[in-house]
Amino acid sequence: MSLFGTGALGRVVRSGVGRRRVRTVVIAVATMMAVASAVVAGALMVAAAAPFDHAFEKQRGAHITAQFDPAKASAARLAATGKLAGVTASSGPYPSTAFRPVDQTGFRMPTLTLVGRSGPDGDVDRVDLTSGRWARKPGEIVLAASFEGPATGIGATLKASDTTNAPTLSVVGFAVSAGRTADAWTIPAQVDALAPEGGPVTSQMLYRLGSASTREQILAGRKKLAASVGSEALLGAQSWLDTKRAAEQGAAATVPFVMAFGVLGIVMSVIIVSSVISGAVGTSLRRIGILKAIGFTPREVVRAYVAQALIPAGAGIALGVVLGNLLAVPLLADTEAVYGTVSLSVAWWVDVTVPAAALVVVGLAALIPALRAGRLRTVEAIAVGRSPRTGRGQWAHRVMGRLPLPRPVTYGLATPFTRPVRALAMLLAVAFGTVAATFAVGLTSSLTAVGTSQDPESRAAVTVTTTRPNNVAPPPPPPVGGGVASPPPAGGGVASPSEPRVADPAKVRSAITSQAGTRSYYGKTRVEVAVAGVSGPVRAGLYEGDSRPGSHELLSGRWITGTGQVVVPTRFLERTSTEVGDTVRVTYEKETANLRIVGESFDTSGSALEIHADMADFPSAEPSTFLVEVKSGVSADEYARKVAAAVRPLGGDATTNAPSGQEGVILIMSAMAMLLTLMLVSVAGLGVLNSVVLDTRERIHDLGVCKAIGMSPRQTMSLVLSSVTAIGVIGGLIGVPAGYALHGLVMPVMGRAVGTGLPPSVLDVYEPVHLLLPGLGGVVIAVLGALVPAGWAAGTRTATALRTE
């Protein structure tokens, strides 16, 4: 208490904080919510930006990682591209190929991008060794650090493929490339020997550009490279911007909406704190006059009222820091997974800067009304007391009195005009609460739409698979002639649960087409492919038949309709610096196809890329699932049982589809949005409560007079509640359009944070009921906030009210 004085001044401050409990709670809760939101937003911004940027600059990461056809561009010609205008540094060419090794347990690893480099250093992409050493001779390999684990460590052996005569490799080191230019490295002379049979060996070049902060600048650089060596020689290019976004997006998607709630909370805190302290000054004029009369200086009066705001605000700020750190944990966990062993937590300076800024904001918000208290003349403060100025709001009473409504209601409707500044603060609190509710409704609806759009297979009524775990044994064949069932033939028993049975897709397809009730179906499988210009494996959804019922949401272009076509996500276009209409080379196993990009899909699956193509482009691929639509009137459950009975003896299975559940990150974001909204609405309700308490205390004598001439307790409640009803209606009318506009502003920013645009199904989520309910919510906030003081006013005895001054 020494900061604000001791003795008499300290007693005044303690008395003001202790006696005005509603005011104290309102300030504490408002600041707690604002600080919690700001801490979460600050923590996510730090987590989303710092780790990748620091690592990328330290390693001089490649802005463009390009793959060239060595048959069409010689090493000397490629080296000359490092002197093109705009290129500040280059490394390469390095031989590169895609291979799929097998570890010492027999597990076939994902398809890896292997690059031949004589050492980790270079003008571009100075790879950091996390353990071990660099490869020095044939038979040695360095893996990306993400592969290090109990089963794969220094000295572990790998086979280059699952063929009998595949070369054996010894793991001698693990390394990290911030630009993710490769998944594995070996000496250049060994790349040809490790390339799979029929697999191409390309030339990798790494470039740093003078200007590479936008996609347009990367595309311009790619066009220069293609022009210098010929468009056919450039097989593909990977942009550092997409790598950066992939690394950061675990937290980046959450930052915009948390910041929106944080700004709402901070603005509401300023409004409420200013209103609360202003109300405290307005209702304590006589007290202020008495304090000055007994010797308090204007400066001491100002310090007393600022302290009455800062003390509960300090408690709220401390709780807000703790709550913000707790709320940030599940979101930071997602980002921590991106950086592996890097430990991410709320930066210490966030926990220091946010509370300090909050104290300054609260102090300034309280200072203006406190200065008013300090400037009051002693005689005027004692004479005026707490009564409003004579004649204020009389015109409103005359206008409202003409309405065909009960007199207590018209009296209440005119009450806000007696204290217009306080009524405006209450209106803004209700409006901001409605903004938060409207925004939260749209945000959760959009997140639900995102989750639904990412699982188009759930639209089908029935899924038929060609694999089934063998611990679910098929029914035994019926006994011949009614006798005991014969034992299965040798070698035909049930396999171990770890070895699934695989049904012949042709037989499963035949069972579907012969089943009554089949309206349409298409086949699908997911495989890993290699794409020229992309480091690491790329997931591919391959489709058989008319796959339009299972198409993903598109941002541009169209869905695949035949061979030679591919649909890719936005991140693929950015990573490869391609556009709809360009051609990319895709390799599955030993089959390579040049596919034209016909559509841009909406994909939020993270850093992994998934493309969509026709299965006929890769003849060796076979469908692993069939998605079936049944005819009208046919029960999906009954259909699935019949198909399952036909395909289970083959090794397959059939099940009905249920609506897809939301992913963990979407659930976390939705839950956090609802929590922050609840906090904002609660603060708005507390702001209304505080204002109505002040109004009721000011007018308790008038209410006593009304009771003396016959006003019933019910009429008293209607008077108090009607005084905030109009504010609730107007606040709702203001808040709903503002919340709608905020949703339209924040959602595209969230989409860009994860490297994609948003389709109309995600943006246009508001139904009339979604806008009506938050609008009514403004009235609910106002009425609930006024309910307690209204009940207190109705229950106050007439004699007690008349004696109150």
Among 624, 656, 688, give the residue marking a domain's end: 656
- Cα 26 to chain centroid distance, Å, stands at 30
Buried b (16+ CB within 10 A) or exposed e, 14-42: eebbeebebbbbbbbbbbbbbbbbbbbbb
R_g over Cα of the chain? 35
Residue with tokens 């049904």: 503
Label residue 202 by pLDDT band (50, 70, 90): very high
| Residues written for the chain | 805
- Across residues 444-472, what is the average pLDDT? 75
Which contacts qualify for 406-412: CB closer than 8 Å, 24 or more apart? 406/715, 406/718, 408/706, 408/711, 408/715, 408/716, 408/718, 408/719, 408/722, 409/718, 409/719, 409/722, 411/706, 411/719, 411/722, 412/718, 412/719, 412/720, 412/721, 412/722, 412/723, 412/725
Residues 6+ apart with CB under 8 A from 303: 4, 5, 9, 370
**Average of per-residue pLDDT values in the chain:** 78
DSSP structure class, residue 490: T
In angstroms, the CA 22 to CA 696 distance is 13
- Tell me the pLDDT tens digit for each residue of 326-356: 877 766 665 444 443 344 567 778 888 888 8
In angstroms, the CA 633 to CA 461 distance is 12
* Cis ω for the linkage preceding 388 (within 30 of 0): no
Residue 740 and residue 605 share a domain:
no
What pLDDT was estimated at residue 106? 72
Nearest to 761, CA basis, from 550, 549, 553: 553
Angle 255-282/420-453 helices, nearest 10 degrees? 160
What Å distances lie between residue 724 and 295, 303, 696, 731, 778, CA to CA?
39, 32, 12, 10, 10
Collapse the DSSP code of 434 into the 3-class scheme (helix H, G, I; strand E, B; otherwise coil) and give the result: helix
- Tell me the pLDDT tens digit for each residue of 350-364: 888 888 888 888 888
In angstroms, the CA 583 to CA 589 distance is 20
What pLDDT was estimated at residue 392? 59
Residue 600 and residue 539 share a domain:
yes
What pLDDT was estimated at residue 495? 36
DSSP structure class, residue 494: -
Residue 331 and residue 395 share a domain:
no
Return the H-helix or E-strand segment holding 112.
strand 112-116
pLDDT at 117 over 90: yes
Residue 536 and residue 443 share a domain:
no
Residue 738 and residue 697 share a domain:
yes
- Across residues 214-226, what is the average pLDDT? 89
In angstroms, the CA 277 to CA 307 distance is 10
Among 633, 656, 679, give the residue marking a domain's end: 656
Q: In this structure, is residue 748 part of a structural domain?
A: yes
Return the H-helix or E-strand segment holding 206.
strand 202-209
- Tell me the pLDDT tens digit for each residue of 561-595: 989 999 998 888 877 888 899 999 999 888 899 99
In angstroms, the CA 68 to CA 160 distance is 23
What pLDDT was estimated at residue 800? 60
DSSP structure class, residue 760: H
DSSP structure class, residue 343: -
Please state whether the predicted TM-score (pTM) of the whole model is above 0.85: no
- Cα 625 to chain centroid distance, Å, stands at 31
Q: In this structure, is residue 466 part of a structural domain?
A: yes
Q: In this structure, is residue 246 part of a structural domain?
A: no
Q: In this structure, is residue 216 part of a structural domain?
A: no
Cβ 87 vs Cβ 207: under 8 Å: yes
- Across residues 154-159, what is the average pLDDT? 90
Residue 781 and residue 701 share a domain:
yes
What Å distances lie between residue 59 and 124, 177, 218, CA to CA?
7, 8, 19
In angstroms, the CA 286 to CA 302 distance is 15
What pLDDT was estimated at residue 485? 32
Residue 462 and residue 445 share a domain:
no
- Across residues 1-26, what is the average pLDDT? 64
Residue 463 and residue 450 share a domain:
no
pLDDT at 170 over 90: yes
In angstroms, the CA 103 to CA 80 distance is 39
Owning domain of residue 287: 1-55+251-386
Q: In this structure, is residue 95 part of a structural domain?
A: yes
* Helical H segments across 609-756, by residue range: 636-647, 664-698, 700-708, 713-753
Total number of domains in the chain: 4
What percent of the chain has a predicted confidence (pLDDT) above 70?
Answer: 79
Q: In this structure, is residue 791 part of a structural domain?
A: yes
Q: In this structure, is residue 228 part of a structural domain?
A: no
Q: In this structure, is residue 236 part of a structural domain?
A: no
- Across residues 198-207, what is the average pLDDT? 88
- Tell me the pLDDT tens digit for each residue of 234-252: 888 888 887 777 666 555 6
Residue 196 and residue 81 share a domain:
yes
Residue 641 and residue 666 share a domain:
no
Q: Show the tokens assigned to 645.
A: 């009975």
- Tell me the pLDDT tens digit for each residue of 729-758: 888 889 899 989 989 888 888 887 776 788
Among 656, 683, 700, give the residue marking a domain's end: 656
What Å distances lie between residue 423 and 24, 397, 429, 719, 728, CA to CA?
20, 15, 10, 16, 11
Residue 175 and residue 86 share a domain:
yes
Residue 652 and residue 572 share a domain:
yes
In angstroms, the CA 503 to CA 658 distance is 24
- 486 vs 670, higher pLDDT: 670
